[in-house]
Structure 1
Amino acid sequence: MFPFRVLPLALALSLGAGISVSQAQTLRWANQGDPQTMDPHSQNEALTNAVNNHVYENLVGRGDNLELVPELAERWQQTGPLTWRMWLRKGVKFHDGAPFTADDVVFSVERASMPTSQMNQYAAAMGKPVKIDDHTVEFRLERPNPVFLEHASSFHIMNRAWAIKKKAEKPLDYKNREETFAARNANGTGPFMLRSREPDIRTVLTRNPAYTGARKAVGNVQEVVFTPIKSDQTRVAALLSDGVNFVQDPAPQDVLRLQQNPAIKVVQGMENRVIFLGMDQQRDELINSSIKGKNPFKDKRVRQAIYQAIDTDTLVRNTMRNQAVVTGCITPSPLGCFADLEPRAYRFDLEAARKLLADAGYPGGFEVGMDCPNNRYVNDEEICIAVTGMLAKIGIKVNLATLPRANYFPKLEKHDTSFYMLGWGGAITDPQTTLDPVLHSPPTPSSKKGLYNYGRYTNPRMDQAINAAATETDPEKRKQFVRQALSEHREQVHHIPLHRQFIPWAARSNVDLKHYADNAVRAWTMTVR
């Protein structure tokens, strides 16, 4: 166990640099990772979204219990089976002083629908935005959308004139390392303004003095200094030495000791996030594998063998220090699943796993490469190391590569992987926002679904149920389509669910904060005494 120590002087000075207001009003926030970009439409990644969410707002927001609430749209109405109308707040200004109008909404929905946007499945599902007047927008859909308001809460609104002036009309292509003005600069309507952005070093936000929106300031934070600190040990040391006053992701093995320290407070709860493994089920020959001329992962027996060789109870108990709960469902929240689908689909059984491999033609196992992040999910690298040891027991030799999130996600987007870890979650508990982007067959010219189906399997039967659920407005009928899709996914072992992680937040005792199930920090609700 790491012995807690004083933060090294050089790092302490670095963390403190750039603080220009009273320490009592500054949230010094640390996380193992760093936001990927300030472009609000480019990447759909939780930390990136959480930081951008201080600067930008959505049409529909989230309340304290993650319920849908008015934000830039003050009210809305479904005016027909295929039309929604939204009335926008008046008097709202962007950080550069430009007025917020319907033109910005139309521009943002269209921008977020572009191919380089990872928000495109949500924005495109809202239909065609049409300006009625400066503060009214109508959305004309091609088909019914029972989760229209959920989609309206899923991406941020930009200023059209600013984006055009800065040549940022399109979301930057992150996976190909594109840089645009929007990567390090921002102009939103939110409660904080972006003052400076130094990737992998520091991001500084300052309170927007002109903000009068829906995110009421119940705290006193005037400045946010975000610092990525990859090492668990160094991150905790920074907290203990007051180099930072809030750590969003303390390592599970440190939580008990932090709870016993009177200078520290820990708040925690289960996050709306499921951690799972995926496999390339598209290539005829796997990359980074000892098997030539074919792809073992196309055989359900191999996928099931891997599932049955992984002891998820041990992962939760030992690797996660009981800071997670085992699940057999792929939805981020139990509210989006069914009680009978929550347990594992197939029990942990090494003998059964070995027999499945032998029946599939791999009695001695095989060798395969695996990719995992090392600074995205709780104990992500440690989980993958444990999995490699478990799979070795059935003869599968895993060559593990772990990468920081900045390199890891572009690798997945390029499908440069055979076997990988992914987590999926956020504020939305409705299963559709997992079914469409993660479980559906890969994108086609006529469909933007399946963007995060990095295994690139195709399953027409499951697609049919997913597509039916996406347009069915009768709640009971829709439940049946959702059940069909989740059951088919479970039966075919297209992914291997591991657990839903708990998220402890640790802060100095003078920081007042509330934990949210979407793991999104909301600095405007926090107080530093």
Structure 2
Amino acid sequence: MRKFLLAATFCVAAASGNAQTLTIAAQSVPTAMDPHFHRANSNNALLRQVFDPMVDFDSQGQIVARLAESWRIVDDRTWEFRLREGVRFHDGTPLRADDVAFSFERLPLVPNSPGSFASAVRTVSGVTIVDDRTLRITTSEPSPFLDAELTAVMILSRRLHENASTADFNTGRAMIGTGAYRHVAYVNGERMEVERNPTFWGGTPPWARVQIRFVTSAGGRVAALLSGDVDLIDGVPTQDIARLSADRRVEIFSTDANGTAYLFPDTVRDRAPQITDNQGRPLDRNPLRDERVRQALSLAINRPAIVERLLAGEGTPAEQFAPPIAVGRIPNRPPIPNDIARARALLAEAGYPQGFRMTIHGPNGWFPGDAEVLQAVAQGFTRVGVTTTVEVLPTATFFSRATNRDFAMFMTTYASNLAAITLQQVVATRNSETRMGPFNRQHYSNPAMDRVLEEALRTMDRTRRDALTAEAMSIAMDDGAVIPIFYLKATWAGVRGRVRYEASPNWYTNALQATPAN
């Protein structure tokens, strides 16, 4: 998150009095405007303009103050947060400590969520309101990641939002936050518009008005930038980066992201959808349940070729689930080889010497080159004997169907600065009561991994916690819980002399990270 959010004023705006409008073409379409509906990057990025969390990660991966001016660990099971003085929602309603308690209460109650935020407060057993600006959070066990978890939770008002539905946010009725920008309009699948909040607690934002257009076509985004129709685009097509970098009208902003593109196989059901023998007949057992099959499929992927040829070097081949920026990942893990002979041997050992047929799924317009990456993966699978076809879907449809377990294997991404949170969110055994595994859409379960991870999640000593996390990661990777493909790189392109963008590993696209270039 931008450093200006820690300051009393926005220096650029104060110095220039700039009243510019910023227009952005964004690749991903949000699934809803409710800040507690879907823990997805596209939603989180847009909604941070209107709503605030208590704390957040900055562009260096450090946790910094937002609505909370300070916080401390009282003991292993108690955290105290002190809110900023004088913060108000856009309609003038004052922010109070009870609003934080209300926001925690609401997270698990949002219906039809394809990716719940409830796990962010999974260890919270109680909230004590000390006064209007101070609250103490009690946890059911030691919770060393609580402040990091709370970066995901945007704060709503009990008075304003107690009866608000997701539909109320989508229509704009409930779009009242404490953020730098006020809601103006939202047209599903088309655009979002916000305007400067003159009473923002962080000072005067530099843009008077911001319009974010949802342009899923990569060519369409680039054309809009070059024509001057928009000031900034995200999801710059990898094949266009060199050309745009050489264009004097354009400035490129990029960084290694905290996200991993990965495949998630169905390892649970006896029969998985979209898997047949070579004649198209249903198999009597799900081959993805066999660890050797999952290992074979991982060996079939030529990760360096995907990064270099398809992505023009815009990424890094993955050797584990958590990206290099993440704390607690396995140190010095060797690359995953592309070994066709070994993959075929493993398939034969598992009882599939002639392979089988499978369809794999993914989103279209989620990250640059996503459909092409999935095709390359399918070609690798086919090369070792698993004849694979690809189906890509619009993001909202894809995530809904993935949550419904409609797929044998699908590709998506997960982003976090913490390896333990990546595991807790995606591969820990799914449990609605303990709120573990909310993004474990394939219902993978490995009790041995769970035991080590759960110990890591309640260990306050950093050295021991990181060692436990790396052990849990090793168990998950050796078991083929997920199949990592590559670590993402995030790239934006802007009109030179018009806008500058702070490229951040969280790969959020919004006005909070943009400033006028002059």
The alpha-carbon distance between structure 1 residues 147 and 263, as it changes in their structure 2 partners (threshold 3 A), is same
Q: d(CA) in 1 for partners of 2:512 and 2:439?
A: 32
* Matched residue type, 1:280: D
- Within the candidate set 139, 156, 159, 1:158 is matched to 156
The alpha-carbon distance between structure 1 residues 337 and 469, as it changes in their structure 2 partners (threshold 3 A), is closer
Aligned pair 1:411/2:397, yes or no?
no
1:462 corresponds in structure 2 to 449
2:139 corresponds in structure 1 to 141
Whether the 8 Å contact between 2:322 and 2:422 is mirrored in structure 1 is yes
Whether the 8 Å contact between 1:325 and 1:499 is mirrored in structure 2 is yes
Aligned pair 1:375/2:365, yes or no?
yes
1:65 corresponds in structure 2 to 60
- Within the candidate set 507, 511, 517, 1:519 is matched to 507
Unaligned runs of 5+ in 2: 1-16, 277-281
Q: Tell me by how many angstroms 1:64 deviates.
A: 4.2
2:241 corresponds in structure 1 to 255
The alpha-carbon distance between structure 1 residues 357 and 522, as it changes in their structure 2 partners (threshold 3 A), is same
Unaligned runs of 5+ in 1: 1-21, 173-179
- Within the candidate set 167, 190, 198, 1:201 is matched to 190
Aligned pair 1:129/2:133, yes or no?
no
2:226 corresponds in structure 1 to 240
Aligned pair 1:347/2:345, yes or no?
no
Q: d(CA) in 2 for partners of 1:284 and 1:95?
A: 52
Q: Tell me by how many angstroms 1:388 deviates.
A: 1.0
C-alpha RMSD over aligned residues: 1.8
Q: d(CA) in 2 for partners of 1:127 and 1:199?
A: 37
Q: d(CA) in 2 for partners of 1:362 and 1:312?
A: 24
The alpha-carbon distance between structure 1 residues 339 and 488, as it changes in their structure 2 partners (threshold 3 A), is closer
Aligned pair 1:286/2:272, yes or no?
yes
* Matched residue type, 2:51: Y
1:14 corresponds in structure 2 to none
1:18 corresponds in structure 2 to none
Q: d(CA) in 1 for partners of 2:24 and 2:509?
A: 9
Q: d(CA) in 1 for partners of 2:110 and 2:93?
A: 28
Whether the 8 Å contact between 2:299 and 2:343 is mirrored in structure 1 is yes
Residues 107-135 of structure 1, C-alpha deviations (whole Å, 9 max, x = no match): 00111233645111012334322222222
**What secondary structure is seen at the aligned counterpart in 1 of 2:45?**
helix
Whether the 8 Å contact between 2:330 and 2:470 is mirrored in structure 1 is no
TM-score, normalised to structure 1's length?
0.89
Whether the 8 Å contact between 1:327 and 1:342 is mirrored in structure 2 is no
- Larger deviation, residues 82-91 vs 277-286: 82-91
Q: d(CA) in 2 for partners of 1:271 and 1:385?
A: 23
Q: Tell me by how many angstroms 1:86 deviates.
A: 1.3
Q: d(CA) in 1 for partners of 2:394 and 2:81?
A: 40
**What secondary structure is seen at the aligned counterpart in 1 of 2:212?**
strand
Residues 468-492 of structure 1, C-alpha deviations (whole Å, 9 max, x = no match): 0010111222122112101101111
* Matched residue type, 1:477: R
Residues 47-105 of structure 1, C-alpha deviations (whole Å, 9 max, x = no match): 11010001001111333423212211111222222111111122111011111111211
The alpha-carbon distance between structure 1 residues 303 and 271, as it changes in their structure 2 partners (threshold 3 A), is same
Percent of residue pairs identical: 28
**What secondary structure is seen at the aligned counterpart in 1 of 2:220?**
helix
Q: Tell me by how many angstroms 1:437 deviates.
A: 0.8
Aligned length: 490
Whether the 8 Å contact between 2:124 and 2:140 is mirrored in structure 1 is no
Q: Tell me by how many angstroms 1:341 deviates.
A: 4.8
TM-score, normalised to structure 2's length?
0.91
**Within 5 A, what are the aligned runs for 1:273-312?**
273-290=259-276, 291-312=282-303
Aligned pair 1:443/2:431, yes or no?
yes
Aligned pair 1:430/2:415, yes or no?
no
2:477 corresponds in structure 1 to 490
**What secondary structure is seen at the aligned counterpart in 1 of 2:243?**
helix
* Matched residue type, 2:450: D
Q: Tell me by how many angstroms 1:522 deviates.
A: 4.7
Residues 435-486 of structure 1, C-alpha deviations (whole Å, 9 max, x = no match): 2111201224x32111111221210000001100010111222122112101
2:71 corresponds in structure 1 to 76
Whether the 8 Å contact between 1:328 and 1:341 is mirrored in structure 2 is no
**What secondary structure is seen at the aligned counterpart in 1 of 2:313?**
coil
Q: d(CA) in 2 for partners of 1:23 and 1:244?
A: 18
